Structures are given as structure tokens and as C-alpha cells.
Amino acid sequence: MDYRELVEYQWPYLLSFLAVDEPLDESAKRYGALTRKRRVDSADKLLRLALAYGFCGLSLRQTAAWAETLGIASLSDVALLKRFQKASSWLGYLVAAKLADRSGSRPQHPLQLVLVDASTICAPGNTGTDWRIHLGFDLAAFRISDVKLTGVSGGETLKRYSVSPGDVVVADRGYSRRPDLAAVTQKQGDFIVRLNWACVPLTDQSGESFDIVDAVRSIPEAAVCEFNLKLKPDPRRNVPALPVRVVAVRKSEAAAADSRKKILKNASKKQTTPDSRTLEMAAYVVVITSLASNRLAAEDVLEIYRFRWQVEIVFKRLKSLLDLDGLPAKDPDLARTFIYSKVLAALLLDDFTHAFVSFSPWGFNIK
């Protein structure tokens, strides 16, 4: 698909998928994106320019030339840069409004699964992390449901996501911390998270410490085992003695050996020696959940955790098809505008595609 054609020839239709209750000009003024209408005389045009820059991958100079050719606006690349630097907060608002519209129409499902993950974005010429994008994915609707953009200091945490009552948050071990897990249940949600045994102390039902490393040693290969436990309380971090289930399965020897190789390779890069128990736990998949057994069987807990890969596929789609990781800007405000325009375009394109596929040009369904 030629994304530039969408912005050039189907702009009014693409714009119709925005979910805002107020005129674009009013919200743009409120967020400081449209303080004056010289050169760019409407929020509609400003948004179109932002998508041409971020979504279509045009440079600032190319975007200015493109706008001149189509009669959208007449301004230099420097003037366009200043416009975009002021537009990031407004674009973030449009992304949030679009996501809120989606969550309000979320279809009913026995389990409202929300997959979460984060990915890093680097500025041109840099090899480290400059930005981190945190993404939630509604599995029932098969759509992005939550997006947060932070700087390098914005770590992975479940506290960052919007959790609605009934949501079941599915996440990798990077989110396996007691305060994060407790935060989900405090919002009347549940979690299915890969357990980081070193970061989540557990107790048995009587409050005695529970050694998960010792407990899983007796699990036969490919057999699923579960333990009814509690999080060790931590009043200082607002963590209660929350009832949890830990579900574990032993990997095949080949899979365990592969996991150990990855651990040793990563430790070698960092010039550290891995804990012997970390190497031992590489032989298991261990997941912690707040869902009771009468709501979800142990085998189903592990099966649902496998769905987490869907959110990584979304990141790969954003990075490969929309060049999300092709960040052309070092300026923080311009970088935010670029990233938000990418995400907003992905949401609009998703709705556009759904509408296109469901549309019957003859006015009736063919059987």
C-alpha cells in the first residue's frame, strides 16, 4: 500500500476515523499546536503535514515541498520544524482519544486479555535507547488499546498501563515485580505474568517463605504443575499478601539447553557470572497469575501466556511496515511528533482497513 496516496487522495475519509468530541482547531489551540494560523491555517492541515512527515517518511524539506505542490501550505522546512515541535502534545492527545474510543466499544469476551510490552527507539547515530514506547494490545478486538511514550528512564512497569475492571494483563518477566502485580489487582484486574523468581518473594498459605526453585525440581518433563501461594507482603510498597497461583512446566532438554546458552552469552557480554539457580530455572516456564483455578485451568494459563507473542508481532509490524524505528529526529519535541504520528497513523490505518474489507461495493452481501 502506498501510504502517501492515503494522505493525498483519501484524506477526508482517513480523517473520519478520528475519535474526538471537539473541533480539531479547538483541541490544537488548547495544546499549543495552533497558536496562529499563518501559513498553516487549520488543524486539519497541520495533522495532514504531520502524517506526511511521520507516516509517509518524508523529510522536513520533502514535506514542505509536498505541501506546496498540493496547495496545502506554503512554508519552509525550518518553519515546518517549529510547527512540529509544538504539535507533539496535541498528537499525543489524538492518540489517547482514539484509544479511549476503542476501549469503549471493546467486545465482550470471557477473559478480557490485554497483552503488554515495550520497545526501544533510537535517535539517528545513537546505539543506545533514546525513547521507549509502551504498548497494550486488546487480544479480543485484536487492536492496540494503550500507548505510552517515555524517555530512556521510563522503565517497564504495569503501573503505566490503563487497566479496566475485568482486564487480564499478560506480560513477560520484565514486569514481574510485586508492586506491579498488586497495582493490577487494585484496579480490579488480573494478571498472567512470566515469573522472575528472584524478584517476587512468595509464601505458602501459612505465611512461610516458599522456595519456587526447590519446588519445581520434582516436575517431570512436559508435565504441568501448580502451587497455590501468596505474594510476600510489603506494606512500604503497598503490597498485600495477595493470593496467587504459580503454574510451571518443565521444558524439553533441547529447549532448556538453548535457554542456558542465551543466559551464558548475555552474561559473557556483561562480563558477569550467572546465578546457578538462574541456569537451573532455564529448564522451566513458570507463570504467576491472580486468576483462581475455577476461572482458568493451569494448562490454559500457560496457553494464554503464549498469546503474548502477538504484541511483539505488533511491534514488528510498526517497525517494519511503518518504519517506527527509523527515527529521523534528535530534537525531543520533533521526535515525539514523529512517533505519535506513526502510532496515530497505525490506528487510523487499522480502522481504514477494517472498513475497506467489510465494505460491499454492490450494497449487499454475496452468498
Say which residue, 309 or 204, is predicted with more confidence. Answer: 204
With 70 as the cut, is the pLDDT of residue 362 above it?
A: no
Predicted pLDDT of residue 319: 65
DSSP letter (8 states) at residue 144: E
Contacting residues for 160 by C-beta, under 8 A, at least 6 apart = 134, 148, 150, 154
Range 298-314 burial, b when 16+ CB lie within 10 A, else e = beebbebbeebeebeeb
With 70 as the cut, is the pLDDT of residue 52 above it?
A: yes
Residues 285-302 have pLDDT tens digits of: 999 999 999 999 999 999
* Percent of the chain with pLDDT strictly greater than 70: 85
With 90 as the cut, is the pLDDT of residue 139 above it?
A: no
pLDDT-derived band at 180, boundaries 50, 70, 90: very high
The whole-angstrom separation of Cα 277 and Cα 232 is 20
* Percent of the chain with pLDDT strictly greater than 90: 45
With 50 as the cut, is the pLDDT of residue 365 above it?
A: no
Burial of 215 (0-12, 13-18, 19+ CB in 10 A): middle
Q: How many beta carbons lie within 10 A of that of residue 350, not counting itself? A: 17
pLDDT, averaged across the chain: 84
Mean pLDDT (whole number) for 348-363: 59
CA 144 to chain centre: 7
Mean pLDDT (whole number) for 164-183: 94
Global pTM exceeds 0.85: no
- Three-state secondary-structure class, residue 205: coil
Mean pLDDT (whole number) for 261-275: 91
Give the cell for residue 237: 510498597
Strand-pair category, 112-121 with 167-171 = parallel
Strand-pair category, 284-289 with 190-194 = antiparallel
Q: Which of 79, 20, 22, 13 is nearest to 48 (CA)?
A: 13
